[in-house]
Amino acid sequence: MTSIEDVDGAGSDEADALTIGRRVRQLRTARGMTLDDLAAAVDRAPSQLSMIETGKREPRLTLLQAIARALGTTIDALLEAETLDERSTMEIALERAMKGQTFQALGIRPFRIGKSVPDDALRALLALQGEIERLHDERSATPEEARRANVELRHLMRRQDNYFADLEEQARGILRAVDHPGGPLTQRTASDIAAHLGFSLHYVPDLPPSVRSVADLKHGRLYLSSTVPAKGDSRTAVLQALSSRILGHSEPRSYAEFLRQRVETNYLTGALLIPEDHAVPFLQDAKARRAISIEDLRDAYSVSYETAAHRFTNLATPHLGIPVHFLKVHESGTITKAYENDDVNFPADRLGAIEGQLCCRRWTSRVVFDIPDKFNPYYQYTDTGNGTYWCTARVEASSEGAHSVSVGVRFDDTKWFIGRETTNRGVSRHAVEVCCRRAPADLESTWRDQAWPNVRTPRTLLATLPTGAFPGVDTTDLYEFLAGHAPAS
């Protein structure tokens, strides 16, 4: 027996069968024939022809020839790439879409497109499917969208001096509701906040590896890892999870919204751990004594150095009148977080993105990695193309390697800080010229043609925009985890 495959020689796929089937239907209806009429003319059951017209069965060559004769046309006319009418074209496009990944990912089962389905409904479904695929491509195709969203968010933070009054008020209301007196927030108080919001805390050993915590909104449960990493803070995971609920976050619709939610969550967590009403007098007193210290802020509230540094950038400009900058740099030299409102020039790409750029080797954030004394903070003055800056930095370990965290100010504001007497100095032209981005000439001439490194590609380079409602989260793991831990009915 010979089928269509043998006619075109290349092997027709399901889409070809769809097109041929729709052309048969189009010619049949144009001639006023019913499915029963055509079935009788070719001596086949109507159900068999129906499957051919819907593309579910590929006709043999002999049957296709019989159909062509019955319709008063040729087999070539049935196989040629002539444009179908609009209705048939839309039906084929929608049937193809229903068999594709977009519909399957949404859990939409293929359905029969009957004559009663209006043309406008077909157009709407195809438009929605096209928009979903466009958004998916936009989010996952390149890292450019992530960088652009990050730049826009950093500009917003800069305009507001990294201070968000509405989030401060949210933190103030929560702390007032649990009668927090100020000062360090204890684990018990974190549990009280959870109870106030209707959640019980459950520490489990099998939390999905792609999440820090999981909130079961149906049963009012908050799951956290029973293993707190060394130097970890169990309060932070609790408060970050609860902050999303306090802020009423819903499923992010874009990567920009995801980033904004993450910033808001981290900000509110910091505001709960280091309350504005209590921390501002503490910092104002330190400024009056010319003894501002990120270490002192860290120790006063029992938080990590990074949390203290972040929180200082929230409060320094609006309450102390001090513009600042913040950097978090991986041991590889890559900038992972950055903020500034003191006109320091960080290296940036053509979009203005700082994250992902190499930090200057002579900047405090890089030099600190080579300092053997890890107990005391490192201080340094750095001369740049637009002035001299002073920074204090520390190195902290993490699951992704060591990071330095640094906070800095312009030279004129150094007088308010402990560490201003340092004799450590550096010169960086990274933001205005090649500086250390290119090896010294003698080294380059010797080794340029004699070196071939096998690059350790950062995992974030290939997965800057993971797909899914919550980037990077395996939802199958997530839902199976919740189903396995849900309380019995």
Q: 307 and 203 in contact (C-beta within 8 Å)?
A: no
Residue 271 has pLDDT above 80, yes or no: yes
Residue 229 has pLDDT above 80, yes or no: no
Which of 213-227, 295-309, 318-332, 421-435 is the least confident region? 421-435
pLDDT band at 100 (very low <50, low <70, confident <90, very high): confident
Neighbours of 404 (CB within 10 A): 25
Share of the chain above pLDDT 90, in %: 35
Q: 291 and 299 in contact (C-beta within 8 Å)?
A: no
The token pair at 59 is 């006709």
Of 220, 222, 218, whose CA–CA distance to 237 is shortest? Answer: 222
- Work out the average pLDDT over 74-83: 70
Residue 87 has pLDDT above 70, yes or no: yes
353 backbone dihedrals φ, ψ, rounded to 5°: -75, 135
Per residue in 112-131, pLDDT tens? 888 888 989 888 988 888 88
- Work out the average pLDDT over 424-447: 71
What pTM value is reported for the model? Answer: 0.68
Across 69-83, 109-123, 314-328, 465-479, the highest mean pLDDT is recorded for 314-328
pLDDT band at 13 (very low <50, low <70, confident <90, very high): very low
Q: What is the pLDDT of residue 5?
A: 45
Q: What is the pLDDT of residue 141?
A: 45
- Work out the average pLDDT over 229-234: 60
Rounded Cα distance, 347 and 359, in Å: 7
Residue 288 has pLDDT above 90, yes or no: yes
Q: Chain-wide mean pLDDT for the chain?
A: 83
Q: What is the pLDDT of residue 175?
A: 95
- Work out the average pLDDT over 309-314: 97
Rounded Cα distance, 29 and 71, in Å: 10
Residue 165 has pLDDT above 60, yes or no: yes
Q: What is the pLDDT of residue 462?
A: 38
Find all residues with CB under 8 Å of 321, minimum gap 6, and list them. none
- Work out the average pLDDT over 174-198: 92
Q: 353 and 151 in contact (C-beta within 8 Å)?
A: yes
Rounded Cα distance, 152 and 472, in Å: 22
Residue 15 has pLDDT above 70, yes or no: no
Residue that wins the pLDDT comparison between 207 and 469: 207
Q: What is the pLDDT of residue 429?
A: 75
Residue 261 has pLDDT above 80, yes or no: yes
- Work out the average pLDDT over 286-297: 97
- Work out the average pLDDT over 460-485: 64
3-state SS assignment for residue 379: strand
pLDDT band at 484 (very low <50, low <70, confident <90, very high): confident
Residue 198 has pLDDT above 50, yes or no: yes
**Residue whose pair of structure tokens reads 């960086």 in the numeric block:** 428
Rounded Cα distance, 42 and 418, in Å: 95
Across 1-10, 247-256, 404-413, 462-471, the highest mean pLDDT is recorded for 404-413
Q: What is the pLDDT of residue 381?
A: 97
